[in-house]
A and B are shown apart, each in its own frame.
Chain A
Amino acid sequence: MNVRKIVNKLGLAVCVFLLVSPALLFFIWMLSLSLKFEIDNGAYPPILIPERFAWKNFTGVFESNSFLLYFWNSIIVTGSATIFALIVGVPAGYGIARLKAHKSAVVIMIARMTPGLSFLIPLFLLFQWMGLLGTLWPQIIIHLVVTVPIVIWVMIGYFETTPMELEEAAMIDGATRWEIFAKVAMPIAKPGIVVAFILSVIFSWNNFVFGIVLASRETRTLPVAVYNMLSFEQVSWGPLAAAALIVTLPVLILTVAAQRQIVAGLTAGAVKGG
């Protein structure tokens, strides 16, 4: 009996290792690529841990390619699109949940089905006509296509589960709807706002397709910048992998640190951006 228990445990451990290893090994290999000199990256058989680490791959990324500018662009675009989405999306989620207007959420669902490119054609022309191309505004505005539906979707779910009794009590005490929203409903829904914020940041940060069309040389976000390194500027693997790692590292840290919230949000709404 005891032996069988141990065998079962071992079997489970092997299963879990097999499941996690594709993800784990991939990111370890990514790290390895980014820390190797060209000669080690071209070696056969491949080397996992080199004798000398090429730290200059990382410092080099920041020294060239206006990488800091692109990092800043990414922060501005993602930050603005997320904050704006929270400002309009949290009240909207509340309103839809209280009005029980679930049918309106269908629009959000269809928006999720719509290919990003079909938003891009009209908005691209609109931005061109308004003379906004060359600034960060087109990207901030079009990222709302990703962030607003995520926030509304997550918030509807949260406000539906918050108890009505407190709000009714506040109403009897003579509080207005806005006071109730700000002082009763919002504080209870704080975990939901955190989930909406995290998911919105991640999917906006990762967005690539809007950037390749709308970004000019000065307004690139990180995913576009790293793609351009691949196609035009560089062929050496070390610096490329280092750049890729820098682009995705904030998201990876956020994922592991806030995995509980992310899992809750994703299973509730099964949302995904773009």
Chain B
Amino acid sequence: MSTLTSSSPAAAASPKKGKRLRPSYWPFIIPALVVVVGVILFPWAFTLWMSANEWRVGEEQQFVGLANYARLMSDTRFWESMGHMAVYTVLSVVGPLIFGTAAALAFNSKLPARGLLRGIFVMPMMATPVAIALVWTMMFHPQLGVLNYLLSLVGIGPSEWVFNPRTVIPSLVLVETWQWTPLVMLIVLGGLAALPTEPYESAQIDGANSWQRFRYITLPMIGPFLMVAVIIRTIDALKSFDIIYAITQGGPGTASETVNLYLYSVAFTYYDIGYGSAIAVVFFVIIVALSLILLYLRQRSAWNAGDTR
């Protein structure tokens, strides 16, 4: 690497200067390229290779072809985790999307101390997830938790929150929504800032009320931004780990075990590296496939709205 960096100024001063030689920018990229190959591309290739092997830490490695994937097909715990992930993801996209859009509309108007308020509003997504999870665990406590007390104030009976298989996923989604609504707000706020004012002026003349203005002017124009929010939220919700692991570890039983948590157990509790790699590959393919579908949908909505990004 050092030889490359020291030789490049000479290359830049070479006779071909007039042609504005583009390759001379490559030395800027090469160090990062080495890192990306080492910690990103190598792990991808290695995971793919390991997924075709049967190997537990401390045992003999053996090439088994697609056997790990075949095993995956009949693994009921895997399919259950897929179901949990699907429910968790849909809820964790819809929740932040609704609240985030509402928040963006509010933050788009003139507010006193807007910066400070926005800073506070963004805190949940920047705070350390494990630290947050810890406090939520205390708040979820059926007897001593503050949430059941708050429910009792409005006359609702106590819930078992994360301690009941039936309520655990909605409870975790509550945390996820609380945490990631700010990100949706920021994305949508960026869209609102770019809106032209003319349509609103003519709508005012036509006597449209504020709901009609939102429904027929704002919503279509921020459509592409909402799609970006949906894509990012989908990826993050599928990958969600810290909150679930720290609060329930996939429990009670396996009631909140998503694919990512199952993958963790297989790879680092059972040290079944080959099988874990196969799950990682399938998981990765699911994320990329879903993202591509959503990107395709976004392209279409961008076309309609005349967005150029």
Contact = CB atoms under 8 A, between A and B. Distances in A.
A267 B190 contact: yes
B92 to A, nearest CB: 14
Interface residues of B, number: 90
Interface string B226-258: 001000100110110110011000000000000
Contacts of A141: 39
A273 B129 CA distance: 12
Secondary structure class of chain B's binding surface, majority of residues: helix
Contacts of B199: none
B121 A20 contact: yes
B183 A272 contact: yes
B101 to A, nearest CB: 12
Nearest to B174: A22
Q: In the complex, which range does the number of interface residues on chain A fall in? A: 35 or more
Contact of B144 (A20, A42, A111, A262): A42
Given A20-B117, A118-B284, A259-B118, A208 B129 contact: yes
Contacts of A123: 39, 43
A153 B163 CA distance: 40
9 contacts: A16-B111, A30-B135, A44-B143, A117-B241, A117-B263, A122-B47, A223-B130, A256-B123, A270-B228
Closest 7 CB pairs of A and B: A95-B28, A92-B32, A259-B119, A122-B46, A244-B131, A118-B280, A95-B29
Interface of A: 12, 15-16, 19-20, 22-24, 26-27, 29-30, 33, 41-42, 44-46, 87-89, 91-92, 94-96, 98-99, 101, 104, 107, 110-125, 141-142, 144-145, 148, 152, 176-179, 181, 202, 205-206, 208-209, 212-213, 222-224, 226-227, 230, 237, 240-241, 244-245, 247-248, 251-252, 254-256, 259-260, 262-263, 266-267, 270, 272, 274
Interface of B: 8-9, 12-13, 22, 24-29, 31-36, 39-44, 46-47, 50, 102-103, 106-107, 109, 111, 115-124, 126-132, 134-135, 137-139, 143-144, 146, 149, 178, 182-183, 186-187, 189-190, 228, 232, 235-236, 238-239, 241-242, 245-246, 260, 263-264, 267-268, 273, 276-277, 280-281, 283-284, 287-288, 291
